Structures are given as C-alpha cells and as structure tokens.
Amino acid sequence: MAEARDRVPVFPGSGKTVVLPRLGSPTADTHAHLDMLADPVGALVRAARAGVVLICSIVDLTEEPEFTLDRLCGWLADAGEALRSSQGETVGTPGLPGVSPPDVRLVLGVHPHNASKYDDALHERLRATVGGMPAGLVVGLGELGLDFHYDHSPRDAQRDAFRRQLALAHQLHLPVTVHLRNAHDEGLAILRECGVPEAGCIIHCFTEGPETAREFLDLSPSVFMSFAGPVTFAKAQQIRDALSVIPMDRVLAETDSPFLAPAPYRGEANEPAFVVLNVAKIAEVTGLPLAEVAAQTYVNARRVFRLGGSVTEEGMLS
C-alpha cells in the first residue's frame, strides 16, 4: 500500500469512510454494474476522486431493459457538476483528472443466470442494440459464460447462450467478458471449440490458481485475466499465486460492484472507487510499484477495449 492515503467517503448513508491509497497513475474498473448501484452519481464522483478514469459498465439485456443512454448521460452530467462544485474537496491523486467523471463504456450481453431467456429474438436484439449505440460506446459483449454454482438456467441453455454470444462477438469484432463459476474446465473447452475472439477475451473475476491461469493464457495472446475483490481475501491465496504466471500486460482490475467488495470492506456494498484496493493488492503481491501497476492495468484496459492512448511518465493519458 502507498504511504500517502486519502480518505474517501463511500458509504455516506452509514457514515463509514474508506481509506484508499494514492495510486500515482490513473486506473480503470473494467467490470461494474452501474445500474445496480444505489447511488450511481455519487459512485462516479467518488471514483473520479480516487483516480479511476475509466469504468466499463455491464448491461444485461434481460435484467436491465430500462437502461437508456439518457440515464447514463444524466448520471455523468450530475457527477460532473458535483465535481466542479466541490473542486476544493476533491482528493484524487495530484496531477491526475479529478474534476471530471470517469469515461464510461458499456459491455452488453446476457449473463449465464439468464441464459434460459436467450432465444433468436434476444440474439437479434443484442445485435441491434450494439449497432444502435453511438460509435465507441459499446466496447464488448458480456458478461457471458457458465455458472454451474447457482444453475439459475439449465446448463444446456447456458452452453448455447455462451456459444451464440461468442459467435456474435466474432462477427462484430468485439472482445468478450467471460463469467465462469464452477465451470472453468468446460468454459475453457468451449473457448477452444468456438475460438477466442481476435478482438480479445477477459476472464472476469478470476478465482483459480496458476495452472488454470496458464491454460487460459495459452488459448490466445488476446486473453486477459481480471482480478476483483477476492484477490484481497485472506483465504484466497491461490488467486494471488496465479499472478506469478500472468504477464502484467495481460492483467486487468475490476470491482464487479456492487458485489465483492475487497478487504477490509468485504460484505459492504462495492463501488468503482474500490478498484484501487484491488490494484494495490496486485502491486503488493507482484512486488511492483503501485503507480506502475495502476498504469499498466489502465493501459491494458484501453488496449482490450480498443480505446487507444497510453500513460506518460507524469501519470497522464496521452
């Protein structure tokens, strides 16, 4: 952890205050559910103050049919106004953006929990929704995959929805965000069968050990491994061990907010500002400087989502 710390109120309703490290570089939250947050505007403000400058928000077409571009634009406008009106209170990393809300991009798809709803009409709706959004706003398909822990949808339906969304990603030249729970072996097999989209593949919230990490990395150089709150959990050593075999240019950080808040706030509602704690844990485990890890995960996110840009020695986006 960095020695200099900021105090950012992320639980204003409960009066709790979270202590966040200064990153020394911008970073990204590659997987959040903004529509599920109790206070999306406040979360965007707090993320900006923490140095999070890019958020990829997951939109499940079966869970969030009320999602509209107008709502997102409204959140961003309100967050921008809140940041401008409180510049004196902004406590982001010095020299980094702190008075503008993060850049928000969308990842659209159907979660394996909802795979039983995935029919031809939904498939075409997904294609049309991606095509109907402003250019560059939708940066991937997901989260798609398999969840054999909860089995909210029959496994055959999950397999079918996984394959169909992978095929669509190939057609649309988009990366995929893959959810796998108690299904890594079969998920690996389906990715081998269907092929990893050339645009990229993110193994979301990776929770396995080094051997499984190697298998996914060997699929394609366009596979990225993303780490969420579990990387900080005391009994999750295998996740931290996996970092020893993953090149840093293929590591991403995420929150999966409002789920999976990192230690020491496990059990609380999560939000994008917390990604800095996951970045800090990755830095601690790998022994790399915090600013270097923050910058690298940010550059990786921009690369997989085809956003371009790089981070300068001063920690600014160029």
- Tell me, yes or no, whether 232 lies in a domain: yes
How far apart CA 219 and CA 143 sit, in angstroms, is 19
Q: Which two tokens stand for residue 171?
A: 């057609």
- Tell me, yes or no, whether 6 lies in a domain: no
The whole domain housing 79 covers: 22-304
What are the pLDDT digits (tens) for 169-189? 999 999 999 999 999 999 999
DSSP conformational letter for 6: E
When divided into structural domains, the chain yields a total of 1
- Tell me, yes or no, whether 163 lies in a domain: yes
Tell me the average pLDDT of the chain.
Answer: 89
The neighbouring-strand residues paired with 317 are 311
- Tell me, yes or no, whether 1 lies in a domain: no
Look up the CATH number of the domain holding residue 260.
3.20.20.140
Measured in whole angstroms, how far is the alpha carbon of residue 283 from the centre of its chain?
18
Let me know: does 291 contact 66? Beta carbons within 8 Å.
Answer: no
- Tell me, yes or no, whether 216 lies in a domain: yes
pLDDT band at residue 11 under the 50/70/90 scheme: low
Question: Cα–Cα distances in Å, from 17 out to 48, 84, 180, 192, 239?
Answer: 16, 22, 32, 45, 27
How far apart CA 201 and CA 216 sit, in angstroms, is 10
Position 311 scores a pLDDT of 53
- Tell me, yes or no, whether 10 lies in a domain: no
How far apart CA 256 and CA 68 sit, in angstroms, is 20
- Tell me, yes or no, whether 83 lies in a domain: yes
How far apart CA 53 and CA 96 sit, in angstroms, is 9
- Tell me, yes or no, whether 145 lies in a domain: yes
Q: How many CB atoms lie within 10 A of CB 198?
A: 12
What are the pLDDT digits (tens) for 76-97? 999 999 998 876 544 444 334 5
The neighbouring-strand residues paired with 252 are 226
